[in-house]
Amino acid sequence: MNQHEDEARVIRARSRLKEARKWFTYRGWTELPHDDRGRSIPRWGADHAWLANPDNPMRSVRNWCRCWGKRFSKAELDRIIAETETSNKRWNADQCAMVLGITVSDREMLGLRFLGACDDLSYEIRLGIKREKAAARARKHRAKNSTGRKRGRPALALSEQDKLARKKAQDSERAKRYRASRKNASRHISNIGSVTEFSVTRTPSAFASFRADAIEPPSFNLAKFGITAIQIRRGRDILSTWRQP
C-alpha cells in the first residue's frame, strides 16, 4: 500500500468517527445501547480509531473506548486492543451504517458522506436522490444563465424561396448519405459519405465499344482456330460485336 492510500485510509477513518459522533448526539446516546448493536459498535469504533492514528493506534483505541465512561474495565480494554491489532479493519460505508443503524433518510437529514445506509444496499434509492439533486442543479444553472432566447441555434434570416432551396439541399444530402450507407464497404471507397463511381451500377450505354485489336492482337490470328466473330453480351443486351474483315 502506497503513501496516498495510507493517507486516504486515515482521512476516511477520522471522517467516519466524526460523523458517528454526530449520529450519537442525534440519537442522544450518552452510553452504548444494551443490545447487539451496543456490542458491535465498540468493535467498529476500535477498528476505525486504530486506523485514524497510525502513530499511536493503541492509545487511540483506548481514548475512543473511554469516551463511553466506565463501560469497559481494564481487562476489557486490553482484550479489545488485542483483537483490534489482529483484525482486518475492512469496513465499507454500508457495513458501517448497518452497525450504527443509519438509514437513507437519516443520512440525508444529517448530511453524512462517509457512512452509508442500511436500507439501501442496492444503492437504488441513493442513486435516485442523486439524480434528483443533479436535475435541480441543472435547472438552477439554466435559470441563472438563461438569456430568454429559445433553445438551439437561432433561425436564419432567409426568404421563403431560400428556405425551400435549403430544405431541398438538406434532403438531397441526407438521401445521398443514406444511399451510401446502404452500399457494401469497399477499400476502394475513400469516403463512404459520398456516392462515387465505385458505388454506382453502370448502365449498358455507359460501356464503351471493344476495340478489335484488343480482342485480336496483330500477331495473333483467331481465324486459325475457326473464330471469325465475337459478340459480347450482357443478359439479352449486345454490348459489342467484332467480326473478321
- Chain segment 65-90, per-residue pLDDT in tens: 888 767 788 898 889 999 999 998 99
Q: What's the number of domains the chain is made of?
A: 3
Residue 153, in any domain of the structure = no
Higher pLDDT among residues 213 and 34, named by residue = 34
Could you tell me which of 43, 47, 39 has the C-alpha nearest to residue 14?
47
Shared-domain flag, residues 106 and 172: no
Mean pLDDT, residues 21-33? 89
Higher pLDDT among residues 217 and 48, named by residue = 48
Share of the chain above pLDDT 70, in %: 83
Mean pLDDT, residues 25-50? 89
- Would you place residue 211 in the very low, low, confident or very high pLDDT band (cuts 50, 70, 90)? low
Higher pLDDT among residues 78 and 236, named by residue = 78
- Predicted local confidence at residue 171, as pLDDT: 95
Report the predicted TM-score, pTM, of the whole model to 2 decimal places. 0.58
Classify 231 as helix, strand or coil: strand
Shared-domain flag, residues 11 and 73: yes
Residue 105, in any domain of the structure = yes
Is a pLDDT exceeding 80 seen at residue 58?
A: yes
Residue 157, in any domain of the structure = no
- Tell me how far apart the alpha carbons of residues 105 and 111 are, in angstroms, rounded to a whole number: 10
Shared-domain flag, residues 35 and 101: yes
Higher pLDDT among residues 236 and 138, named by residue = 138
What is the residue range of 219's domain? 204-243
Residue count of the chain, please give it. 245
Is a pLDDT exceeding 90 seen at residue 165?
A: yes
Rg (CA), the chain: 41
Q: How many C-alpha atoms does 218 have within 13 Å on its Cβ side?
A: 0
Classify residue 117 by burial, with Cβ atoms within 10 Å: 0-12, 13-18, 19+.
Answer: buried
- Would you place residue 224 in the very low, low, confident or very high pLDDT band (cuts 50, 70, 90)? confident
Shared-domain flag, residues 177 and 110: no
Q: Which of 103, 119, 135 is the last residue of a domain?
A: 119
Listed in sequence order, the residues at least 6 apart from 230 whose beta carbon sits closer than 8 Å to its beta carbon are: 215, 222, 241, 242, 243
Shared-domain flag, residues 10 and 46: yes
Mean pLDDT, residues 3-22? 92
